[in-house]
Amino acid sequence: MGPDALAQVLCHLPKFSDPNLLVGFSSSDDAAVYKINETTAMIQTVDIFPPVVDDPYEYGQIAAANSISDVYAMGGLPKLAMNIFCFPESLPKEVLHAILQGGYEKVQEADSLIAGGHTIKDVEPKYGLCVTGFTHPNHIWRNDTAKPGDILILTKAIGTGILTTAAKGDMLSKSEHTSMIHSMAELNKLSAAIATPFPIHACTDITGFGILGHCLEVAVGSGCTIVLDSRTIPLLPGTLDYARMGIIPAATYQNRESIEDLVHLDKSISLEMSDILFDPQTSGGLLFSLPEKEGLELCRQLNSSIPTAQIIGHVEAFHEWNLVVK
C-alpha cells in the first residue's frame, strides 16, 4: 500500500490525545515517541515482512535490521525487542532456527535484547520485530522538521527492490549479491552515532516508499520544497543495468502511481532512473537534513567509515512542488 492510500485509511481512525505522546498519528514519522519523564522518552516501532532473500539466516538479519532502523531514525538507541513470527507448520525447524538466529545476532549487534515474542500459523514465513528504544525528549529526530537551507545526506545506496527481484531469477553476480545482502543487513547504528552530535533538523530511513516517497513525506510534513540531484544518489552495483532490462518489482509501479503527480521529475531523467527512484527499499539508509556547513562536515565524517554516504539534495522554501528531481 502506497503512502497516499495508507493516509486515506488512517485519517478515518479515532485520534488519541495525550500530552506525553510526542510523536504519533499526527505525522508520517518512523515510530511513536512517548515522554516518560523530563529526561527520557520511549520510542516504539514494529515491522514485519515476508522473505526478500532465499537464505533464512540472511533473511532474519535483514528483517531485524529493518525493524531496528526506525529507532535510529528517531534519534534513539534500541534496548528491547520482541519477535513477531508467522510461519507454516511445514517449514523445517532448521529454517525457523536460522531465521531467528539471524534476528537474534542482529539485535545483539544493536546492543539490545530480545525478551520474547509471538508466533502465528500462516501460509508463508513473515518475520520482524517490535522494538523499544529511548532518547531524550529534546533530542528527537522527526521527519517533518526540515528547514530551507538544509542539505540532505543519504547513508546507503539504493536499489534493493530491483536487485531482490533480479535475485529471484538467479540473475545477480556473486559480487552484486554480496553487496546487496551487506547493505540490507547493515544496521544504521554507526551512521546515527556519527550524526548524533550534529544539529539534525530532520531524519527518516528509506524503506518501502522508496527515496521519492520518503523525501516527499519530509517535504510535505515540513512545508518546504526538496530538490534532489539524481546524479548524486548512490546506487547498489547492478541496479541501473537491471532497471534497463525492466527487472522492476510491482511495488515500484504502486509507488509511482501513488505519488507521481506530486513529484516534478526533470525531462532529462531516464525511465530506468525514474524506476529506481520509485523503487521500494528494504532496510535502507538514513536521510539527514541539516544546515549546509555542518552537513558538509557530517558527510566528511561519515565517509571515513561509510563510503556510500552522499549529499543528494537540498531544502528550499516551498515553491509550486514539494519534491523536484533534477
Question: Could you give the domains of the chain?
Answer: 31-139 (3.30.1330.10), 150-325 (3.90.650.10)
Which pLDDT tens digit goes with each residue over 275-289?
A: 999 999 999 999 999
Q: Report the pLDDT value the prediction gives residue 25, as an integer from 0 to 100.
A: 75
Question: Are 315 and 289 spatial neighbours (Cβ–Cβ below 8 Å)?
Answer: yes
Q: What would the grid cell of residue 74 be?
A: 528517531
Average pLDDT over residues 213-227: 96
| H or E stretch covering 214 | helix 210-222
Task: Give the list of residues 6+ apart from residue 157 with CB closer than 8 angstroms, or none.
Answer: 183, 234, 235, 236, 239, 285, 308
**Buried-state track 249-281, b at ≥16 Cβ within 10 A, e below 16:** bebbebbbebbeebbebeeeeeebbbbbbbbbb
- Strand segments (E) across 59-160: 77-87, 113-121, 126-135, 150-154
Summary mean pLDDT of the chain? 95
Average pLDDT over residues 296-323: 97
Pairwise CA distance, residues 180 & 316, whole Å: 33
Average pLDDT over residues 127-134: 98
Question: Are 302 and 311 spatial neighbours (Cβ–Cβ below 8 Å)?
Answer: no
Average pLDDT over residues 292-305: 97
CA dihedral 190, 195, 200, 202 (to 10 degrees): -20
pLDDT reading at 4 higher than 70: no
% of the chain surpassing 90 pLDDT: 92
Pairwise CA distance, residues 227 & 288, whole Å: 14
Considering only CA atoms, which of 166, 146, 152 is closest in space to residue 223? 146
204 DSSP β-pair partners: 287
pTM: 0.94
pLDDT reading at 29 higher than 80: no
Q: What would the grid cell of residue 240 be?
A: 541501473
pLDDT reading at 10 higher than 80: no
pLDDT band at 11 (very low <50, low <70, confident <90, very high): confident
Say which residue the cell 534500541 belongs to. 78
Task: Give the list of residues 6+ apart from residue 132 with CB closer than 8 angstroms, or none.
Answer: 42, 43, 44, 71, 78, 79, 80, 81
Which pLDDT tens digit goes with each residue over 164-218?
A: 999 999 999 999 999 999 999 999 999 999 999 999 999 999 999 999 999 999 9
pLDDT reading at 3 higher than 70: no
